[in-house]
Structure 1
Amino acid sequence: MRTTTLKSVLPVLLPAKAKSGSLFSFRLKLWHGIILLCICLLTSTAGFAQSDPIKASVFEILLRWMPLLLTAFIFNIAISMLAMGIGTAAGTVLGLGQISPNAGLRKFCWFITQFFRNSPWLVLLFFAMFLLPFEFSIGGIDIPLPDWLKATIGLSLPVMANMSEIVRGAVNSLPSGQWEAAESLAYSRRQTLWLVILPQCVKRMLPPWMNLYSILTMATVLASVVGVSEVMTTTGRALASEGGRPDLLAPFYSFVLLIFFIYCYPIARWTVYLEKKFAVKG
């Protein structure tokens, strides 16, 4: 008697696999940065062609302002690191609250996460800038709250919400056998989280965490809208001090674009490497 396998009877729909070169397998390569550098050089060349030969050249002006622009960019990096630290700490607590056995706490943390995660970053930045006080008192001592710190808090709010989802997703991705094994060893829930679950979640959370940091770094230019003296604000002031010459716009903003790319590109490549290294084998 001839046997018929299940595979020959029922059609099986295989999962789609992205071909090399397709949109889903797109990854940043070094030649992308070279193209971006060429674009910056071309726009700068256009600025050189429009410049008045009597005045200082575009290259000389850009070279003169370059140290100040780089210093302002370091301030962007400092804001991004501080906002990422605050958002990571608060988001971890919020993410653990989303998996709490307490239904009330779980729903509250879910609401806070969804509210800040689906709110525009610029609106949250204005929210922090205008609703936080300019100073607060502790023991009769007035402590000022500078604009850059309020902007950092505003940027940390969406980071907190996204980090909450990263933590929740990483914890839920672990098999239930990890919880059962810890319970069989008479571990409390807190011991299970800190000694068993979270250590295994670190490698799962690291790639999306780095990707979130890269997005945050590029979003720090939003602080220029509220008057924080970061690289975009400094660039605008530099252009204004040079008499508002239109031939300086493309070279200056191309330089800002280039330094952001040089900083964020290695993070993107490292993220791709960690995704492959820590990929969960099926």
Structure 2
Amino acid sequence: MSDHPGRAGDLPVLLPFAVSRTRAGFPFHPLQAWLLGGGLAGGLLALPAWAQSGSVVLSPLEVVVRWAPLLLKGFAFNVAISLIAMMLGTLAGVGLGLAMLSEGRVLRRVAWAVTQFFRNVPWLVLLFFVMFLVPFQVTVLGFRIPLPDWVKATGGFALPVMANVAEIVRGAVRSVPTTQWEASESLAFTRRQTLWRIILPQCVKRMLPPWMNVYALIAMATVQASIVGVTEMLTLTAQVHAAEGGRPELFAPLYGFALLCFFLYCYPIDRLTAHLERRFETR
């Protein structure tokens, strides 16, 4: 084989592909590098916008369904506050109402003044009064007992309940005919025996419908606890609205859901109250 290239007996040799390099050692021309870098930068800048435009925006109904379990937990907390406040207010109200029927003039007048005071002041003012004047904890026998906001709010709602129940008790006892008192006196019953064994059992039917009305009112008023920082349904509704970006179209569905929950809870109470009034003939 001849050492000179180009002769007839020489075999062709396939050389590797030669890459032309620039002075900087890169396989691209500077203009090409700038174009490629600009394209990558533009793609990176456009990526967030593309991701945002590609995200799914939930409809108002889907948002309500998505957050309904959390909102219903807040509504259950409203119901719990109303039940506890009603229980405490009823126990105190019965005692206050009986105090207004006492034979002692001083006790009767003090009980009447307390009842009129708490019946004729705004419930929200009472709530603020309790929230800011009651300490956040009390010490009993060396033990510190915390008083969270919802406990103080429950006590604030129990005060008007107490006054209204006291008036219900007083009115129910006064509505019993005086012949009942005279008959029990002729049978040598004491005043206490007459009150607890004869009068009050007859007053249950008279007290039940207005007592249920008071409970419906206190259940609807528990949303005022959101003003003083208690995390209940109205507070959670505002937080959900903020978490969804504060979209204006979500305002009516979210708060409408809260409105619907309270309506479905309080309307049967109203119907049952009307039924009991017709049944007991207390109108």
* Pick aligned residue for 1:71 from 58, 70, 73: 73
Equivalent position of 2:62 in the other structure: 60
Paired-residue identity, %: 61
Offset at residue 169 of structure 1 (A): 0.3
Q: Describe the superposition over 1:110-133 as per-residue Cα deviations: whole angstroms up to 9, x where unpaired.
A: 000000000000000001101111
User: AA paired with 2:113?
Assistant: F
- Structure whose CA Rg is larger: 2
TM-score (norm 2): 0.79
Equivalent position of 2:261 in the other structure: 259
Distance (whole Å) between structure 2 residues aligned to residue 55 and residue 262 of structure 1: 30
Distance (whole Å) between structure 2 residues aligned to residue 56 and residue 268 of structure 1: 36
User: AA paired with 2:278?
Assistant: K
Distance (whole Å) between structure 2 residues aligned to residue 77 and residue 54 of structure 1: 35
Distance (whole Å) between structure 2 residues aligned to residue 131 and residue 184 of structure 1: 51
Offset at residue 185 of structure 1 (A): 1.6
1:226 aligned onto 2:228 = yes
Equivalent position of 1:27 in the other structure: none
Offset at residue 104 of structure 1 (A): 0.5
Distance (whole Å) between structure 1 residues aligned to residue 104 and residue 193 of structure 2: 17
Offset at residue 56 of structure 1 (A): 1.8
Offset at residue 187 of structure 1 (A): 1.4
Equivalent position of 1:180 in the other structure: 182
Alignment of 1:12-51 (within 5 A): none
* Pick aligned residue for 1:124 from 107, 123, 126: 126
Equivalent position of 2:280 in the other structure: 278
Equivalent position of 2:170 in the other structure: 168
Offset at residue 263 of structure 1 (A): 0.6
Structure 1 unmatched ranges of 5 or more: 1-52
Comparing 158-167 and 56-65, the one that deviates more: 56-65
Distance (whole Å) between structure 1 residues aligned to residue 282 and residue 218 of structure 2: 26
Alignment of 1:167-246 (within 5 A): 167-246=169-248
Offset at residue 244 of structure 1 (A): 1.1
User: AA paired with 2:121?
Assistant: S
Offset at residue 191 of structure 1 (A): 1.0
Distance (whole Å) between structure 1 residues aligned to residue 259 and residue 172 of structure 2: 33
Equivalent position of 2:250 in the other structure: 248
Offset at residue 179 of structure 1 (A): 0.9
Structure 2 unmatched ranges of 5 or more: 1-54
Distance 1:280 1:260, change over 3 A: closer
> How well do the aligned residues superpose, as a CA RMSD in angstroms?
1.4
Distance (whole Å) between structure 2 residues aligned to residue 164 and residue 263 of structure 1: 25
- How many residue pairs match? The answer is 230
Offset at residue 271 of structure 1 (A): 0.3
SS of 1:186's equivalent in the other structure is coil
TM-score (norm 1): 0.80
SS of 2:189's equivalent in the other structure is coil
Distance (whole Å) between structure 1 residues aligned to residue 233 and residue 203 of structure 2: 35
SS of 2:139's equivalent in the other structure is strand
Equivalent position of 1:105 in the other structure: 107
Distance (whole Å) between structure 1 residues aligned to residue 161 and residue 260 of structure 2: 24
Find runs of 4+ consecutive structure 1 residues off by over 6 angstroms: none
* Pick aligned residue for 2:146 from 126, 144, 147: 144
